[in-house]
Amino acid sequence: MGKKRDLKQIDAIANEFHIRGDLRELFGEFIEEQKNLGYGGSLNAKRDFTYKELREKAKEFLEEKGL
Amino acid sequence: MTVAPVLKTTIDSRNNHNLEKIIPVITQALIGEICQQVSFSYGDELKLHFGEMTPCKHPKLAHLLRGSWRFGARATPWMVKHQGQILVVTSEADTDEQIAIAKEIVKQLEHKKLIDLTVEAETIRLTLSFEDGYQLILDPDLEDDSGLAHWELFMPTEQVLAIGPGYFWSCKSIHEP
């Protein structure tokens, strides 16, 4: 429980996009909620995201936040 | 809101006895708070929300509530006990079915009051003790080289306490890089 690969990808992309502190935490929740709402990724049957897709989601996250 | 002074340090196995003393001091105000919500973030990270619940400050997450205290288990396996009996033990190798069962079981912590938080100096085992005999226990892998913290705690003071990797720990402002 708690997948290192997924968490490391979130942290790496958060760093790349200067998403820090509680925003990084919120970014992880945003990605999970995207899956729950049916906007998941193409990595596997669970609709996890590829690294490229996560980068796109990071841009979306920041745009929606007005950052 | 008062922001406490930033504490940042690195400890190792020679002086890690400080950890078991310092962490309970930093987290003292959490004791007595109710676990308002159990949730999961991307990567099946366990989150426990304590304190005042307020809507997320993001347009697409405004329907979600989050606590003023938020504990995240990161990728560390966890165990739930009740009256000394193990209810569930997780691992990174869990199947989807095992993950689903563990997620249901840990929800038993919702609406329970936190009565104690302890960290063992040598192993950094974290034990969160709740009313009615519930415990959440994390046993960090001190050899893990992922670079991830073992666990973290976002606090109402706009600080985040992070334990790990290894014996490293920090308590700093969420606004600090």
Phi/psi at B139 (nearest 5 deg)?
Answer: -115, 90
**Any A CB within 8 A of B97 CB:** no
Contact B35, B130 (CB under 8 A): yes
Q: What is the pTM of this model?
A: 0.91
According to the model, what pLDDT value does residue B18 have? Answer: 81
Measured between alpha carbons, how far is B133 from B113 in angstroms, rounded to an integer? 10
Q: Considering only CA atoms, which of B138, B152, B159 is closest in space to residue B47?
A: B152
Q: Model confidence over B3-18: pLDDT tens digits?
A: 445 555 444 444 555 8
Closest CA to B103 of B151, B44, B144, B159: B44
Indicate yes or no: CB of A31 within 8 angstroms of CB of B42: yes
- Chain A residue numbers with beta carbons less than 8 Å from the beta carbon of B64 are 29, 33
Q: Is B164 left (phi over 0), alpha (psi -120 to 50) or beta?
A: left
Answer whether residue B111 is part of any domain: yes
Q: In what order do the strands lie in the sheet with B151-154?
A: B7-9, B169-173, B159-163, B151-154, B65-72, B45-55, B35-41
Beta bridge partners of B135: B81, B129
Could you tell me which chain B residue has the CA closest to the CA of A15?
B177
Give 3-state DSSP helix, strand, coil % of chain A, rounded to 5.
65, 0, 35
Give me the domain span that covers residue B40: 7-173
**B77 at the A interface (CB within 8 A)?**
yes
Q: In this predicted structure, what is the pLDDT of residue B92? A: 83
- State what percent of residues in chain A have pLDDT above 70: 99
Q: pLDDT tens across B106-143, in order?
A: 999 999 999 999 999 889 999 999 999 999 999 999 99
**Residue B34, token pair as written in the block:** 């109710």
| Nearest CA distance, B57 vs chain A (angstrom) | 8
The C-alpha R_g of chain B, in whole angstroms, comes to 16
Domain total for chain B?
Answer: 1
Residue B1 belongs to a domain: no
Q: What distance in Å separates the CA atoms of residue B45 and residue B138, rounded to the nearest whole number?
A: 13
| Structural domain includes residue B75 | yes
Closest by Cβ to B58, choosing from A3, A5, A26 = A26
Q: Indicate the Cα dihedral angle A49, A52, A55, A61, nearest 10°.
A: -50
B157 in any annotated domain? yes
The answer to whether B56 faces chain A, any CB pair under 8 Å, is yes
Instruction: Output phi, psi for B128, to 5 deg.
Output: -100, 120
Band (pLDDT 50/70/90 cuts) for residue B175 is confident
